[in-house]
Amino acid sequence: QVQLVESGGGLVQAGGSLRLSCAASGRTSSSYAMAWFRQAPGKERELVAAISWSGANTYYLDSVKGRFSISRDNAKNTVYLQMNSLKPEDTSVYCCAASPAGSGTVYRIRYEYRYWGQGTQVTVSS
């Protein structure tokens, strides 16, 4: 089992920045692909960014490309999401997810992720 705990959410004005963190604990000795999803009220959960265990491969939702950056520190069992130039439409609950995977694997479908955090609220005011 792997437990995921997110932090770093909050209220920010449009154009501002936030950095989300997701700390993993438990059976973290294996390699894991990780990702950030978000879900706004009344909308489906969507994949925002994903990263392979090695960090060499990443994926971004089109609407966040050039504004968000995903990274990880395997020594700290932590994945980060740096969010810049935030927009009101980025308002959502952001959850991190993880699943065992090969070193270079990135998963793009939510059902491929086995472990989920509880989420952290990000609110962007206009």
- What does pLDDT average to over the chain? 96
- Mean pLDDT of the 38-67 span: 97
Q: Write out 64-97 in H/E/C secondary structure.
A: HCCCEEEEEECCCCEEEEEECCCCHHHCEEEEEE
* One-letter amino acid of 54: S
Evaluate if residue 36 carries a pLDDT over 90.
yes
Q: Are 61 and 73 in contact (CB under 8 A)?
A: no
Structure tokens at 115: 């472990």
- State residue 27's pLDDT score: 78
Each residue's pLDDT tens digit, 97-120: 999 999 999 999 999 999 999 999
